[in-house]
Amino acid sequence: MDRTRKQAIRLGAGVAAGLGAAAIAWAGIAANAEEPADAKGDFETMIIGGGDVTDGQYPWLVGLGSPGEGTPYERQFCGGSVIAEDVVLTAAHCVEESVAEDLVVFSGAIDLESEDVVETAVADLHVAEDYNAPVAMSNDWALLKLAEPLDVEPIALATEPEEYDLLETAGWGDTGEGFPTTAQWVEVPFVSDEDCEAAYPDEVDAQTMLCAGDLENGGVDSCQGDSGGPIMTPAGEEQVLVGIVSWGYGCAEAGNPGVYGEVADFNDAIEEVLAGWEG
């Protein structure tokens, strides 16, 4: 698979994320009308602000890709988090059109061009039944049951919705200068439900979404290709998964925070699916 194809696939994920926003974009169009679609020339939006993930920093961080020819880097199109030895949590919009055979998971290395990447087939797939309700992109979560267990430390799920301070997000998505082979991570300020609803009138369902970003300055965010991956909060020595990269208008723009599926809201539904798979 060549670079063009990879870009097309990644854009596919982006378009899927964008659809929800587009459906209700009319109300917000004035605010964004002056923004070029590709704001890469703008320093503020060009840096999504991260650095290389280091070995062992987020062992549960995995890439989601297509099976077949080409390196993991060339086939990766979304992120995910290992939540049990053979289960990955990702975004519904990453896999809604897929069957299990269309998907593989990359774990074990932060550099997707590394020989250490472990590629694992997906045996079963569960997309949230209430995905896209009550508003577009609500309940943007899906679970992948893997064909083999991974030798990877899982991340714990948040159980209660909370107000946070700084969160961390990570993935192989667009940095503003293209797609990195080594996963990037960045700290992003938590954005309150109230501020997020004001940023995206009528598009945010605060029950199933949480927001993060530097509202005033922009410059730090997740972006296309990071979808499905984690946003986390430190809890002592551990990290807790509070959200799933989902959507936003552009990336790292002031006033347009990143929007994430709110894991605490899905926790019970996730546990139910896991119990069914164990049965």
Catalytic positions are: 93, 140, 227
Helix 25-32 to helix 3-23 angle (10° resolution) is 110
H/E run at residue 107: strand 104-107
205 versus 221: smaller Cβ distance to ligand 4AZ: 221
Cα–Cα distance, 90 to 100 (Å, whole number): 13
Of positions 66, 184, 224, 233, contacts ligand 4AZ by CB under 6 A: 224
**Bridging pattern class, strands 104-107 and 156-157:** unpaired
DSSP state of 251: S
The answer to whether residue 204 forms part of the interface with ligand 4AZ (CB under 6 A) is no
Provide, rounded to whole angstroms, the least separation between the CB of residue 85 and ligand 4AZ.
27
107 versus 227: smaller Cβ distance to ligand 4AZ: 227
59 versus 218: smaller Cβ distance to ligand 4AZ: 218
Provide, rounded to whole angstroms, the least separation between the CB of residue 248 and ligand 4AZ.
3
Q: Which residue has the tokens 């840096």?
A: 47
Closest C-alpha to 260, from 214, 218, 213: 213
Provide, rounded to whole angstroms, the least separation between the CB of residue 269 and ligand 4AZ.
22
The answer to whether residue 81 forms part of the interface with ligand 4AZ (CB under 6 A) is no
Contact 79, 179 (CB under 8 A): no
Cα–Cα distance, 100 to 105 (Å, whole number): 11
Q: What is the CA radius of gyration of the chain?
A: 17
Q: Which residue has the CB atom at the shortest distance from ligand 4AZ?
A: 248
The answer to whether residue 222 forms part of the interface with ligand 4AZ (CB under 6 A) is yes
Provide, rounded to whole angstroms, the least separation between the CB of residue 215 and ligand 4AZ.
13
74 versus 226: smaller Cβ distance to ligand 4AZ: 226
List all residues 6 or more positions away from 40 whose beta carbon is below 8 Å from its beta carbon. 46, 176, 177
The answer to whether residue 175 forms part of the interface with ligand 4AZ (CB under 6 A) is no
The answer to whether residue 223 forms part of the interface with ligand 4AZ (CB under 6 A) is yes
Contact residues for ligand 4AZ (CB under 6 A)? Answer: 13-14, 17-18, 221-224, 226-227, 245, 247-248, 251, 258
